[in-house]
Amino acid sequence: MTRGETVRTGGVPDLIVWIDHVPDAIDRLREEHLPDDVRLDFGLESLAHVEAALLRHYAAEGSEELGSGFVNDAMAYLGEVLLTVAGGGWGWDTEPAGDMEGHPVVVPDAALGLPPVAPVLLIGEALSSRTGHEFAAAARRLGEAVDGLRKDRQDWEPVKEHTPGVDPEPEVPEHPWLAGWLAERERAFSAWVQETGLPEETWDYSASSLDVLERLAKERVPSAQRFEAAEPGLFLQGAAWYVGEVARRVREAAWAYMDPEEHDSTWAGQPYMTQPGVRDGNIAAPMAELYAAAVMAEEGESGVLRERLSWYKES
């Protein structure tokens, strides 16, 4: 299923970008490409729905479409299902495929001794054969290999590497930097409330209070350019903390932090929110949410913060 050199190091830029892209890709697949009644539960049955949607969308000779957005989104979900079956993690194949100079591959748990599987090539086969069963068949082949190894090693189970924003976040000790930042924000909350010029009861951690915060933020930083030039002082730091706290209290999200010296990720170096224990839960950086609100304000749109709160999934 793969033809070039497979790279597994987390320092490969293309692989880092792909892994960060996976949760958004799965959300787009769900929201833009599939019927509302299809549930993406990472089971084999869901693969048939994804394959059927691709077949409906593309012609039989749709190999030239292998670099399209729909295909990329389907690759992310297909790969995550295969990883759920066979363990292992994402890798990167340096060979071109379709319009892509390189492409992500699924590298099964090393104990299985299996070669990488390329979701984009599986999709190409599905579009060519049009059987509607290629995705599930690939997953079953991996499952048979897992079952075979279990017979010889009854205490063995495949181990899937963690995909941020897709797999439940593991319980980890609170990072010292995050602990200090959260403590400082709580101490500064009263001063932040005074700085907003609004009554304290305004800030009740409700979803509706995000609309008030968004209007206030648009007055202070009414454009992306102004936002980028602004000092991350009391207002913006307090606003980011408040956005995260609403998510924590309303949607049971949790604060997280990755040390940029230890993690090469777009999430590193800033406080962000996760949903521990929720498969395919939301992951978001509150400061980035405020920036998005500033960008959308330039286009005359509002309600960004409240909408993004709805992206957190029910536990």
pLDDT tens readout for residues 177-203: 999 999 999 999 999 999 999 999 999
Residues 305 and 217 both lie in one domain: yes
Residues 18 and 148 both lie in one domain: yes
The average pLDDT across 263-271 equals 85
pLDDT for residue 222? 76
* Interacting residues of 279 by C-beta distance below 8 A, sequence separation 6+: 42, 166, 167, 168
Of 152, 184, 202, which residue constitutes the final position of a domain?
152
Residues 13 and 78 both lie in one domain: yes
Least confident stretch, 90-94, 130-134, 225-229, 282-286: 225-229
Residues 209 and 143 both lie in one domain: no
Task: Report pLDDT digits (tens) over 124-180.
Answer: 999 999 999 999 999 999 999 999 999 999 999 999 999 988 888 766 678 999 999
The answer to whether residue 158 is domain-embedded is: no
Residue-range definition of the domain harbouring residue 27: 6-152
pLDDT for residue 10? 45
The answer to whether residue 161 is domain-embedded is: no
Provide the CB-side half-sphere exposure for 119 (13 A, CA): 30
The answer to whether residue 157 is domain-embedded is: no
> Is residue 299 very low, low, confident or very high in pLDDT (cuts 50, 70, 90)?
confident
Residue carrying the six token digits 């049955």: 45
Q: Which residue has the higher pLDDT, 298 or 29?
A: 29
The average pLDDT across 252-267 equals 88
Regarding pTM above 0.85, the answer is: no
User: How many domains are there within the chain?
Assistant: 2
Task: Report pLDDT digits (tens) over 76-97.
Answer: 999 999 999 999 999 999 887 7
Residues 110 and 189 both lie in one domain: no
The answer to whether residue 160 is domain-embedded is: no
User: Would you say 75 and 104 are in contact if contact means Cβ atoms under 8 Å apart?
Assistant: yes
Percent of the chain whose pLDDT exceeds 70:
91
Residues 96 and 225 both lie in one domain: no
The answer to whether residue 163 is domain-embedded is: no
Task: Report pLDDT digits (tens) over 53-84.
Answer: 999 988 644 444 565 789 999 999 999 999 99
How far out from the chain centre does Cα 239 lie?
Answer: 23
DSSP string of 176-217? HHHHHHHHHHHHTHHHHHHHHTS-GGG-SS-HHHHHHHHHHH
The answer to whether residue 171 is domain-embedded is: no
The mean pLDDT of the chain is: 88
Residues 36 and 140 both lie in one domain: yes
